[in-house]
Structure 1
């Protein structure tokens, strides 16, 4: 079984059921499956087939789903790319992944024209219309680019059906996800059909997804969290996706109420915005049976305040691109533990090890490693990088964690973010938890900076809803709640913290953008 087959099954078993809602549009599972067949057949018509690579530069939309599943059905490997990336970032990924075709919206045509001049290996640009512009207004395109353009609608309409899909091997690469590099260029994690199908199936089962569910799909589809949890798991279980192009608290409240949503998935920053929004009322989210959080650790104070206001449970989990992504989640059939990422999901093993790879007993902090059918087969054309994280079948995550006596895991911090003050370990998350517990603080991030006396010192960045809150007051708040070596030596008050496309706070961006500007 693979994701393409799962969609075919849903089309047979639930053909008339809505697969998605999107800005007033809707499509049944039968209609979605037909569009996927047309896209796969269209790729065949232009010479894109099994083993080829296709870059997918699209936001949350039916175009993303049809392109992804159509390519996979044709045996084509998909490379999802963030549509807000710069030309240089897109160019690197398209070239590095050896993409033969690119799917993108018409508003990105100027960027695609630049790619066309520098990347001759790309043979086709499949352009779809957005609500802002029309593909027909393309007379100004350069001839070399125009000759390589095929509109999305033409690709579907001229495809010759029926489409006879090639045999798909479970170890064949389905998707290459480029992870944001902490140093150097991003790496492409190769996820197989088995990786993606098994993780979506298992997380859907673990979180009790069913045909009765309606899932608010506002996380970016190009990101693995949304890809597996909102998109793939929904299709496998026959649920309905309520697709929003971008996140806004007002939109989430409106969609939840209009479509009687049952599941919402987001990152902690989204929950923070929903909680702080003056428009949010408990009845707006009354239909939800479950909220899912991932992508970053959720501060316990935020979790408890959100649950108290909206009377809905948040189940926090953990994952990473290299694991398709989910490895652990708080179970629904037993007590949830605030601050924990939960227990290992079905068919996946998590354990905490020391520097030598030996498993540590409950309570001790070490590196989290994972194993299962969801673990990638490696980084694309980077054998050394692959060998550094895949050892004896285990994926070394680079995250520091501990496990309790009941098998619940707790992320302590990123291994690379550990701060050492005078020989003592300081985990940024521990300091951030204290900051988030302050009633006036809505966002916080902590990192280590060089210190002549202690080697490193703790620097905190804080966003407050109270304009009168001072650094001195924040420091005093920390003094009674943290050991002296853990207390921030400096506190900077900012209007906002830098975030990535999913809303995850970027410590690296703080280091690169804010620190050099400090006097």
Structure 2
């Protein structure tokens, strides 16, 4: 199988692929999110959503969603609107997402932990018409952009605009639009090696393909119906919204929105809410196992822990199994997919460092630079495309493209193959092992950090002649952000420069992107193009800042 044997539409000037989803239909489950929410009342008094403020049954959720849809219509939200959202996890954020989908608008989640310049860059990229956000986010962005044209609506507390709109609205929207399930519906922000934000656009079809494919794929474990599920991933990250609330509601289960992201807080929520399955980072798992203050934590309701972002070594797997009595599930996916593409099965441990096997609704191939499949065990680029036969033939399509970035979209697809940029190998049983990334992305405790983005900030400091950012290994987080700094003044260094650089970066970047390890250099090892050689930097003895 080669790339050229799988075909798909061309790319339009808006960066989105043309001619997708015109023939294949969804073989199982709901075709779109509108179908999903139309059936909410069928589960009646069963708990649907839980957050710190309380529990909503399916019947209560259906009522609030109807009122939210009517209220958001009054703000001008409908086809053609682009709704950015930036708030903490909670029932209202989920209801807002479902209402926006029901109204045929485009949703764009913006991480609330980003610095104001980062948030503004994302709002500008998608050309937001509305902003649903915590009051603090609205205030910060108003101070940074006095002439903003989007319409603000606060969300996230009982006194918010959104809460008032829902309370006052009639329990039915006016004339719901006919939503095309293949049209742009939601955006997941990502970046390439440049660190510039890219808006990966997904349709309701691509989102529901993942939901239905996993729930109807005979995978067992976390994909059984009716489970109480949760994760600490921000719901403004699209895969968090899909993986959590959408899967829960499509399967008659319950989703718990946690207001804690630390290992102790997550464990407390699991116990209090009776969570049965959770997705988390390797960092959370390691903290449960090695932090002395968590040595006596028990999680009696928990049946499945799925871990993404980085592989879990066998020693950790075994300690977890001995303590909690079940295997960790490995999970792999990217924002462009938009969620998980492969996972291990809960009934057995995958080969060490493997992320398991491809989900049944798509096909994964390991291809060489010419687009031909490599032999089992050989390294190539992991690519994903639609199945050729069976009930899922032709259904999977991945993202529609990067909004307003046609060149980036073309570079990411070859026909219908999604090129992940991850280098991997596959064994004869289909087990996939990720061996590296073509991109220079740093994976810090499950969060993506792009060196070029951090370098641009540091190079703007008046005392810096040049800065290079790369990863360093870390036992707890997997990787941490490190910076090598060439000062403008020959001997300018020490704790003052480090403090200045940290404060400078914190004002312009999210905290998790700010380097944790700093080194001063007299110059960088360079290649023939005069570019710093990052791999050599890691092995040099440099003076710490």
Which category describes the TM-score, using the shorter chain as reference length? Answer: 0.7 to 0.9
CA separation of 1:382 and 1:329: change in aligned 2, threshold 3 A: same
CA distance in 1: counterparts of 2:65 and 2:472, whole angstroms: 48
CA contact (8 A) 2:350 2:431 kept: no
For 1:305, what is the secondary structure of its paired residue? helix
CA contact (8 A) 2:88 2:156 kept: no
- Which residue, out of 197, 222, 232, partners 1:186? 197
CA separation of 1:13 and 1:277: change in aligned 2, threshold 3 A: farther
Q: What corresponds to 2:169 in structure 1?
A: 159
- Which residue, out of 53, 61, 64, partners 2:90? 61
- Which residue, out of 107, 110, 120, partners 1:78? 107
Question: Is residue 43 of structure 1 aligned with residue 43 of structure 2?
Answer: no
Question: Is residue 376 of structure 1 aligned with residue 403 of structure 2?
Answer: no
CA distance in 2: counterparts of 1:459 and 1:128, whole angstroms: 36
CA distance in 1: counterparts of 2:157 and 2:135, whole angstroms: 7
Question: Is residue 87 of structure 1 aligned with residue 91 of structure 2?
Answer: no
The CA deviation string for residues 319-357 of structure 1, in whole angstroms up to 9 with x for no partner, is 000001111111346553342111110211111011111
The CA deviation string for residues 382-439 of structure 1, in whole angstroms up to 9 with x for no partner, is 1000000111100100001000010111111112359xxxxxxxxx99xx9xxxxxxx
Cα distance, 1:292 vs. partner?
0.5
CA distance in 2: counterparts of 1:377 and 1:459, whole angstroms: 31
The CA deviation string for residues 74-101 of structure 1, in whole angstroms up to 9 with x for no partner, is 0011000100111111111111101110
For 2:424, what is the secondary structure of its paired residue? strand
Q: What corresponds to 2:422 in structure 1?
A: 399
Q: What corresponds to 1:311 in structure 2?
A: 325
Q: What corresponds to 1:108 in structure 2?
A: 137
Q: What corresponds to 2:179 in structure 1?
A: 168
CA distance in 1: counterparts of 2:365 and 2:519, whole angstroms: 36
Q: What corresponds to 2:350 in structure 1?
A: 336
Q: Which residues in structure 2 correspond to 1:76-475 (within 5 Å)?
A: 76-114=105-143, 117-120=146-149, 122=150, 124-130=151-157, 151-163=161-173, 164-205=175-216, 206-208=219-221, 209-280=223-294, 284-332=298-346, 336-372=350-386, 373-417=396-440, 460-462=472-474
For 2:355, what is the secondary structure of its paired residue? coil
CA separation of 1:463 and 1:292: change in aligned 2, threshold 3 A: closer
CA separation of 1:460 and 1:97: change in aligned 2, threshold 3 A: closer
Q: What corresponds to 1:21 in structure 2?
A: 50
Question: Is residue 514 of structure 1 aligned with residue 528 of structure 2?
Answer: no
CA separation of 1:392 and 1:15: change in aligned 2, threshold 3 A: same
The CA deviation string for residues 90-115 of structure 1, in whole angstroms up to 9 with x for no partner, is 11111110111000112223213235
CA distance in 2: counterparts of 1:294 and 1:213, whole angstroms: 20
Cα distance, 1:192 vs. partner?
0.6
CA separation of 1:69 and 1:405: change in aligned 2, threshold 3 A: same
CA contact (8 A) 2:106 2:187 kept: yes
CA distance in 1: counterparts of 2:146 and 2:243, whole angstroms: 37
CA separation of 1:57 and 1:399: change in aligned 2, threshold 3 A: same
Cα distance, 1:30 vs. partner?
1.6
**TM-score of the pair, normalised by structure 1:** 0.76
Q: What corresponds to 2:36 in structure 1?
A: 6
CA separation of 1:281 and 1:374: change in aligned 2, threshold 3 A: farther
Cα distance, 1:198 vs. partner?
0.9
Moved more, 186-195 or 110-119: 110-119
Cα distance, 1:304 vs. partner?
2.7
Q: What are structure 2's unaligned runs of at least 5 residues?
A: 1-30, 387-395, 452-469, 478-510, 522-541
CA separation of 1:94 and 1:2: change in aligned 2, threshold 3 A: same
For 1:156, what is the secondary structure of its paired residue? helix
For 2:80, what is the secondary structure of its paired residue? coil
CA distance in 2: counterparts of 1:185 and 1:130, whole angstroms: 32
The CA deviation string for residues 249-279 of structure 1, in whole angstroms up to 9 with x for no partner, is 2222222223322102101112122222334
CA contact (8 A) 2:226 2:251 kept: no
The CA deviation string for residues 486-508 of structure 1, in whole angstroms up to 9 with x for no partner, is xxxxxxxxxxxxxxxxxxx98x8
CA distance in 2: counterparts of 1:340 and 1:188, whole angstroms: 29
CA contact (8 A) 1:219 1:246 kept: no
Q: Which runs of 4+ in 1 moved over 6 A?
A: none
CA separation of 1:516 and 1:52: change in aligned 2, threshold 3 A: farther
CA distance in 2: counterparts of 1:284 and 1:342, whole angstroms: 27
CA separation of 1:315 and 1:369: change in aligned 2, threshold 3 A: same
CA distance in 1: counterparts of 2:296 and 2:365, whole angstroms: 38
CA distance in 2: counterparts of 1:351 and 1:279, whole angstroms: 44
CA contact (8 A) 1:362 1:405 kept: yes
Q: How many residues align?
A: 427
Of structures 1 and 2, the one with the larger relative CO (CA 8 A, separation 6+) is 2
